[in-house]
Amino acid sequence: MPSLRDLQVDVLKAVLSAEDGRAARLVVARGIPAMRRLGIYANNARVNFHESLQASFPAVLRLVGEEYFHQCAREYQKRYPSTCGDLQYTGTRLPDYLAELHVNDEFRYLGDVARLEWLRQETLISADHRPLDFEKLAAIAPSEYAELRFRLHPSARLFDSEYPCWNIWQANVASDGEPEIIDLATGPDRLLLIRRTLQIEAHRLSHGERSFLIAVREGEGFERAVEDGVNCDSEFSAAAALQRFVLAGAIVDLE
Amino acid sequence: MSGKALSNSDRRSVPAGAGVGLRAPHHLIVMSEAPRVAWFEAHTENYFADGGPHVYAMEKIRANYPLSLHGVGLSLGSTDPLNREHLKKVSRAVKRFEPALVSEHVSWSSVGGKYANDLLPLPYTEEALRHVCGRIAEVQDVLGRQILVENVSSYLEFANSGMTEWEFVAGVAAESGCGILLDVNNIYVASCNHDFDPLHYLNAIAAQTVQEFHLAGHSRISIEGREVLIDTHSTRVCDAVWELYGSAVRRFGKVPTLIEWDTDIPALDVLLEEADKADAVGASVNAVAA
């Protein structure tokens, strides 16, 4: 009699890769071959996995069509099977997987679109945070600004791509009609994604603003963050950036 | 339902009437129209997020309705170490939303760190019984409360099972001290797929252990000329399951009953109609008993 452990190892192999037949001897056939019975679970595992990917990557699905999406999902599931009981995380590695798969072909932007969709999902489930307390900012003496460390909203995510992914995403999920043709040369995209109340907002960033926000995210002081902004964008304005990101709800605290 | 916030004592119990499964497409209508329904049950994993729209909706809805949290991803029967990360998230959701009932399944879905994300049946052996009871004890310790465990639908039986499913489920409740969430549709599906009398199942379960019923619809497929029932939660409860539900209410009394619907989710009104039907079946059984 197999141990519970051995039984589970063999059954899961059969469920996740239907070609493994060792589990058949463990199952009572009763009018239906054991592998067909196991196949019902294999089908459930595949459908549940694919549906979770479809929910996380609607634009990718629309761009490549159902047949290719499911073909990719099957291969992706073989390489990266689910490793937790919460299906929301099955797509963690899909952006990199698609980017590797389409390095230099007609779908070379697909990995980036997938990454944008994944960041949207992260933005959607992040913790809430109150907006910045302006009195706290007003109480800081200008001489102390250099060392100030700002904190970003937990939902804030930075996205960049050489392709116009935001327009591609919008064209493919905002309407059911035929999506408009988007010229891949109309990138690059530099975006700040943030959840305000319950909606995701996307803000386009200059090169300097992006560098500034990366430094803030990494916990650098204000002076250093401003330097990073100016170093890659001579027109970067610290005052304008601070105002913009406080009003956008991206900067929520300081210390 | 008046839309008025529940008192603390109302939050601590789920009424014996029919509730419905809370799914994201219905968040808005439940928040805005506060439909007349006795309680809601939600999949715990759907509310693991740190914040955002689902958590917001749950907090609003929770203020007005009794709640049950029903897990599908803890893989209770797995021989892997209990997934502490997942359990931590369950524990956080329980603290955050204060459900009156917390439940999981008599099943497994992972081994070696890989998940099928489906509810796989266990072999009904003494080893599996001891193992599941130990895991339930761990979960109950961490959560600091009793949990209910649900019998699953199944499409296969293991050759090494030394007892019936109903002996196993009854044994789990007796030895672990957990309660039973009896899924009447799952019993029916299993009874058709494995040729047993579903009443034997009901009669084997100790009456006082059953604290909740589930009802759902299933589909039928044909494999090599033989019909197999699949627990799809995609349609109305069928007549045979309503009849079995009547038998369950006669045996176990009126306990909270949930209408589940997870695939091709219809308008909320359809779920409310099914809930009304469950209440009517429960009332007719009680009337006969009186």
* CATH code, domain with B223: 3.20.20.150
Nearest to B77 by CA among B123, B42, B43: B123
State ipTM: 0.94
Residue B76 confidence (pLDDT): 98
What is the C-alpha separation between B1 and B34, in angstroms, rounded?
6
pLDDT, greater one: A206 or A21: A206
In a domain, B266, yes or no: yes
Q: What percent of chain A has pLDDT over 90?
A: 86
Q: Outline where DSSP puts E strands in chain B.
A: 18-21, 40-43, 67-70, 101-105, 108-111, 114-120, 148-150, 179-183, 210-215, 219-223, 226-230, 257-259
Average pLDDT, chain A: 94
Residue of A1, A3, A5, A7 to mutate, interface with B, max B Cβ within 10 Å: A7
B68 lies in a domain?
A: yes
Give mean pLDDT, residues B172-196: 97
Q: Confidence band (pLDDT; 50, 70, 90) for A197?
A: confident
Q: DSSP H helical segments within A80-221, as ranges?
A: 94-101, 110-125, 134-138, 165-173, 207-217
Query: Taking 90 as the threshold, does the pLDDT of residue A17 lie above it?
Result: no
Q: Two tokens at B90?
A: 């369950």
Q: What is the dihedral of CA B92, B98, B99, B100, to 10 degrees?
A: 140
Over range B160-189, report the average pLDDT.
98
Mean pLDDT within A198-226 = 96
In a domain? residue B1:
no
| Cβ contact, residue pair A81, B114, below 8 Å | yes
Spatial CB neighbours of A6, under 8 Å, sequence gap ≥ 6: none
pLDDT in tens, A78-121: 999 999 999 999 999 999 999 999 998 999 999 999 999 999 99
Cross-chain residue pair B52–A25, CB shorter than 8 Å: no
Burial zone of A157 (CB within 10 Å; 0-12 exposed, 13-18 middle, 19+ buried)? buried
Calculate the alpha carbon distances from B93 to A55, B49, B68, B115 in Å: 22, 9, 11, 22
* Structure tokens belonging to residue A38: 């196991």
Tell me: the pLDDT tens digits for B252-281? 999 999 999 999 999 999 999 999 999 999
B26: containing domain: 8-289
For the record, the structure tokens of A24 come out as: 């058949």
Q: How confident is the model at residue A1 (pLDDT cuts 50, 70, 90)?
A: confident
Q: Are A84 and B73 in contact (CB under 8 A)?
A: yes
pLDDT at residue B52, as a whole number: 96
Q: All domains of chain A, ordered by start, with CATH?
A: 1-108 (no CATH), 119-255 (3.90.930)
Is B96 a domain residue? yes
Which of A 83-122 lie inside 8 A of B, CB atoms? Answer: 83-88, 90
Q: How far is CA B21 from CA A239, B39, B51, B234, B258, in A?
A: 50, 9, 21, 13, 7
Mean pLDDT of chain B: 95
Q: What is the mean pLDDT of residues B59-66?
A: 96
Whether B70 has a pLDDT exceeding 90, the answer reads yes
* Tens digits of residue pLDDT in B126-154: 999 999 999 999 999 999 999 999 999 99
> What pLDDT sits at residue B3?
47
Domain count, chain B: 1
Contacts of A76 in chain B (CB under 8 A): none
What is the C-alpha to C-alpha distance for residues B244 and A199, in angstroms, rounded to an integer?
45
Give a yes or no: residue B2 inside a domain: no
Residue B141 lies in a domain: yes
pTM exceeding 0.90:
yes
Q: Nearest residue on chain B to A30, judged by CA atoms?
A: B194
